[in-house]
Amino acid sequence: MQSHEAQTDIDLLIEARWVIPVEPAGVVLEHHAVAVQDGRIADLLPSDEARRRYRPRTLRTLGEHVLIPGLINLHAHAAMNLLRGYADDQPLMRWLTEHIWPAEQKHVSHEFVRDGTLLACAEMLRGGVTTFSDMYFFPDAAAEAVLEAGMRAALGIVVLEFPSAWAADADQYLSKGLAVRDRFKHEALLHFTLAPHAPYTVSDATFERVRTLAEQLDLPVHMHIHETADEIEQGIAQHGVRPLERLRRLGLVGPNLIAVHSVHLTDDDIALLAREGASVAHCPTSNMKLASGASPTAALAVAGVNIGLGTDGAASNNRLDMFQEMRHAGLLAKLSSGDAAALAAGHLLHMATLGGARALGLDAETGSIATGKSADLCAVSLDDAATRPCYSPVSHLVYAAGREHVTDVWVAGEARVENGSLLHLHNNDLKARARLWQNQVAL
């Protein structure tokens, strides 16, 4: 008489035509399944074996889909979704000083940030993003929105020298931001970074405080740097060295630095970032739209620098679309380097997932499909005329598919998008909030 092994009860089993775990690199698994228990990945195995081994409370069978880790948006200003398209076709400093900063001074509040962040969360979840790293005012309001949406975020403790509706000076930015961290530190989906805005808006004394806090609290330092040529020229005129070198002398270039944009880099800059183990948050669409330039990502990758992808804010991109960022990052690297092999599709998917997780210090928690990690997952349908035939699902994710092909998203094992529909956020309410803010901003 043949014996049958007892099945194990689990919360969720997801079967897919392809599973791309990202780690190890280059692996594409066909007809595999991911078992989820208590919000974590319990197993990754062939679908037939999974059916024999597990008895799931919920079974999700995805025929012609690819299952990947949830995408990670390494740099966003989520609340700026309420300023989408507000001042297009302007160079960075004119865009900031003549349009964005005045609008922010007039309108930014706790309610503005909460509503704008909620709108951004809905857009990102629908596009397969399960984690984002934010830099904006009123991080307490952003935290409330993130928890309502049920996604993961690393919220920046923003630091500037000039006043805003959130804080009066650098000391208050830090004290209020750290208080928000203390308030939400027990929330499993919320993480924090120190977020000095940029070298041109933060003093040496404040940077020294940031460095001390980063060391004491083991927090990443998330900062705009070398975004424009003018920024570097001004930095040299004021401090005698390039901004990145100034940060090195202040002890801020290290494994916890997330150097956002990093467009204008010399060979010495690249070597410094590689030697110190810093990460780069590459925002190709925003950099192109603001004519800031093309980051030398091909050279950064060759040097071994960890790179993640970010959208920047919707005001300087218009979309929080990580599929667009993967595609643009690849095409821009090939064009600017003259090397069609630069940043292959697998590397770009790594940048959009595990690269971002590593930059945030969250690679033990998310960024790849591995046993023990949080079940932050995204399913993409390749069963469409626009994605047929499919010779390589990895290549298709970058060059053919888009966020419109995302069907299902899970965060910590909880379904947030199912069959293309948001489950916990209501479009009519979000659109109503957006209309109210548009009426105010447009006055």
**For the chain, what are the domain ranges?**
8-69+371-412, 71-359
Can you give the pTM of this predicted structure? Answer: 0.97
pLDDT of residue 424: 85
Is residue 316 exposed (0-12), middle (13-18) or buried (19+ Cβ within 10 Å)? buried
43, 162, 246, 263 from 320: Cα distances, Å: 31, 28, 32, 20
Question: Which architecture does CATH list for 71-359?
Answer: Alpha-Beta Barrel (3.20)
**Residue ranges of the chain with per-residue pLDDT less than 70:** 1-4
Host H or E run for residue 269: helix 267-276
pLDDT tens string 87-118: 899 888 888 899 998 999 999 999 999 999 99
Among candidates 230, 221, 235, 276, which has minimal Cα distance to 254?
276
**Cα torsion 231, 91, 83, 188: sign:** negative
- Residues 373 and 352: their CA atoms lie apart, in Å, by 17
CATH tag, 8-69+371-412: 2.30.40.10
pLDDT of residue 1: 35
Among candidates 332, 262, 340, 335, which has minimal Cα distance to 303?
262
Q: Is the peptide bond before 24 cis (omega within 30 degrees of 0)?
A: yes
